[in-house]
Amino acid sequence: MARHKNSASCTDTPAALGYRMPAEWEPHAATWLAWPHYHGDWPGKFDPIPWVYAEIIRPLAKHERVELIVNNATTERQARRMLERADALSSNIRFHRWPANRVWLRDSGCLFLKRGTVATARHDSLKGNSSDPALAIKFRFNAWAKYSNWRHDEKIGIQMARVGNASAVRAEAAGKPVVLEGGSIDVNGAGTILTTEECLLSKVQERNPHMARVHYEKLFADYLGAPHTIWLGRGIVGDDTHGHVDDLSRFVARGTVLTMVEPNSKDHNHAPLRANLRRLQSARDQDGKQLTVVELPMPQPVAFEKRRLPASYANFYVANGIVLAPVFNRPNDRIALNTLAELFPAREIVPIYSGDFIWGLGAMHCMTQQQPA
């Protein structure tokens, strides 16, 4: 295990030291975001994007601290001005002037870990503090093996860890750094992780050609405290990440998974989503128990400039007290919001119109990264 300064001994894995990646619904200290500035992610449609950020930051800052990365002083002034106009500027927002290529912190940022079991974490959150030091896993980021402008984003994970007072650990396998994006995995915080074969095992993904299924499973066990992996198959049409799981299936409780389905048998998403559903129905969790699987229909197709976009209700984000839910002005929006309300009865469901935002090929989950309390 390679190290950043102040990290653990290279002979001890995070899991051996008692660390795990918490579930997203566990208490947060903050949510990390990066203010949009790169027009190339929304060619010809950038103007509404900062306003979407204001709609996201306004409810978030009421429930937890927002750590907002801005590209430079000019970007910070623009962000402050827009947030103020949208009644979203708050003392609960901290600005960080760091150069960035893109906004997708789910993939480029570090993954924060916590020490202790789920029960211990619950007890610590009731006390309001924990004496255990924080740890952050830094995977290598190469812009999904597709784009050349990623070198600023590759550095952001270490910067996030420093601000979060977390020791940063660089993930390795067979002595080589591991390329992995946070959107390619989802955890229940109790030892089980979801991922896809298309993203991690496909020969066209160009992330870690030296790694096979067994190597990933060991990586998840050692670095994220998740020794039980559930493999799904393919992702949805329009996803340029080669099948990130956060567009497909998400844990919503320790033993419950929400998964997308496509009822239209003529739609290209029908067969792969049905195959993923069948895998989940036959899967077991870390304790050998059958999962509760909740089906949610995909939004009716969203396209722009004759391109099918990866619009999915699974790309929601769970924060303290709220769930940010992407909606697309489609009839199935109502089903999605009602389903999330049933699954998260103690949280307010905040719909975020993402019809323009999804032109950037990501939504609420892709742009956020949680820092556990």
Instruction: List the one residue out of 361, 347, 322, 334 whose CA is nearest residue 57.
Output: 322
| CA-to-CA dists, residue 10 to 179, 223, 235, angstroms | 19, 12, 35
| Token pair belonging to 143 | 């812009």
User: Counting beta carbons within 10 angstroms of the beta carbon of residue 174, is it exposed (0 to 12), middle (13 to 18) or buried (19 or more)?
Assistant: exposed
Q: Which two tokens stand for residue 165?
A: 């007072």
**Which residue in the list 10, 110, 199, 366 is annotated as catalytic?**
366
Catalytic residue check, 110: no
3-state secondary structure of 335: helix
Q: Please tell me the distance from the alpha carbon of residue 101 to that of residue 108, in angstroms, as a whole number.
A: 10
Q: Which of 317, 2, 9 is nearest to 140 (CA)?
A: 2
Residues in the chain: 373
The helix/strand/coil state of 32 is strand
Cα torsion at 234, 235, 240, 246 (round to 10°)? -130
Terminal C-alpha separation, the chain? 25
- Cα separation, 150 vs 135, whole angstroms: 24
Name the DSSP class of 253: E
The 10 Å Cβ neighbour count of residue 41 is: 20
List active site positions: 366
